[in-house]
């Protein structure tokens, strides 16, 4: 039976291995290519997969991911194809697959329809970067109905009350945003990440926390895993594939996961 995201993160943390959470956009550069890329990532060291939904107004995404999602849309990606991709990936690997999406596509598709189709495809749940818990009533109810994971964000600017609410309602992990701004690699992961993780620990010592935005090297992955429950990497994987195809993506995944 496929483990939940929380089970994977806790198991790896307890064995001092740490977790690598990898992002790749569905449909980039084509749907079949993105499925092959995602499977390759899972088979070469990614412990939890984030499959991104291409969106025309990606306010939090850095240039690398923006360009990739624009390519996917230009090549004809449609939201309904997301579920085909999830099904193909989950049929090939046991890695939990979370869908990373802005909320508008979910609303457009229908919240219950989206949840039902995601569950039927074998998806674990959703990461919703622009949906805050206080405005997530419909998603909370539907995700309970379909037993789907839900990942909310915590940022350096989040109040203690907001962090506590995110901890209470998240299933899987809290996405700790390490820097204010858009995604993309940086030379160093902001020290603010540790503050966000510490705030989550105060609110709920049992809740998992993974750090994203700005992680670009194996050393940073290891550093983040020394104090959090997982390191989230996105732009590096997209750039690796764009620059060298599947072979380069596998190589970068092995390196970031510490397997090479």
Active site residue 61: yes
Global pTM value: 0.94
pLDDT tens readout for residues 112-135 = 999 999 999 999 999 999 999 999
Active site residue 50: yes
Contact 28, 68 (CB under 8 A): yes
Going by pLDDT thresholds of 50, 70 and 90, the confidence category of residue 213 is: confident
Of the candidates 38, 4, 17, 78, the residue with the CA atom closest to the CA atom of residue 249 = 38
Going by pLDDT thresholds of 50, 70 and 90, the confidence category of residue 104 is: very high
- With tokens 């818990």, the residue in question is 133
List strands edge to edge, sheet with 20-25: 149-151, 125-127, 97-100, 48-52, 20-25, 230-233, 209-212, 174-177, 153-154
Contact 170, 143 (CB under 8 A): no
Catalytic residue among 61, 117, 149, 229: 61
Catalytic residue among 50, 149, 190, 229: 50
What does the pLDDT read at residue 65? 87
pLDDT tens readout for residues 7-17 = 999 999 999 99
Contacts of 151 (CB under 8 A, 6+ apart): 98, 125, 126, 127, 128, 170, 171, 172, 173, 174, 175
Give the E-state strand segments of the chain in sequence order: 20-25, 48-52, 97-100, 125-127, 149-151, 153-154, 174-177, 209-212, 230-233
Going by pLDDT thresholds of 50, 70 and 90, the confidence category of residue 64 is: confident
């Amino acid at each position: 039976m496929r483990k939940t995201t929380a089970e994977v993160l806790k198991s790896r943390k307890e064995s001092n291995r740490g977790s690598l959470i990898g992002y790749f956009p569905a449909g980039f550069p084509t749907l079949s290519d993105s499925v092959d890329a995602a499977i390759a990532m899972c088979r070469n060291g990614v412990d939890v997969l984030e499959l991104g939904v291409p969106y025309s107004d990606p306010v939090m995404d850095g240039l690398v991911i923006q360009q990739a999602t624009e390519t996917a849309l230009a090549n004809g990606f449609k939201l309904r194809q997301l579920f085909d991709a999830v099904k193909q990936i989950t049929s090939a690997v046991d890695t939990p697959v979370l869908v990373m999406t802005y909320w508008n596509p979910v609303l457009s598709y229908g919240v219950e329809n989206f949840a039902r189709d995601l569950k039927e495809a074998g998806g674990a749940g959703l990461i919703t970067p622009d949906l805050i818990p206080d405005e997530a009533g419909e998603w909370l109810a539907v995700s309970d109905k379909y037993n789907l994971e839900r990942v909310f964000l915590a940022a350096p600017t989040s109040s203690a009350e907001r962090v506590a609410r995110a901890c209470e309602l998240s299933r899987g992990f809290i996405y700790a945003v390490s820097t204010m701004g858009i995604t993309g690699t940086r030379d160093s992961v902001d020290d603010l990440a540790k503050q966000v993780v510490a705030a989550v620990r105060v609110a709920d010592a049992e809740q998992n926390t993974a750090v994203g935005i700005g992680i670009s090297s194996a050393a940073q992955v290891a550093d983040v895993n020394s104090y959090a429950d997982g390191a989230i990497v996105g732009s590096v994987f997209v750039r690796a594939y764009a620059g060298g195809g599947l072979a380069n993506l596998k190589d970068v995944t092995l390196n970031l996961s510490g397997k090479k």
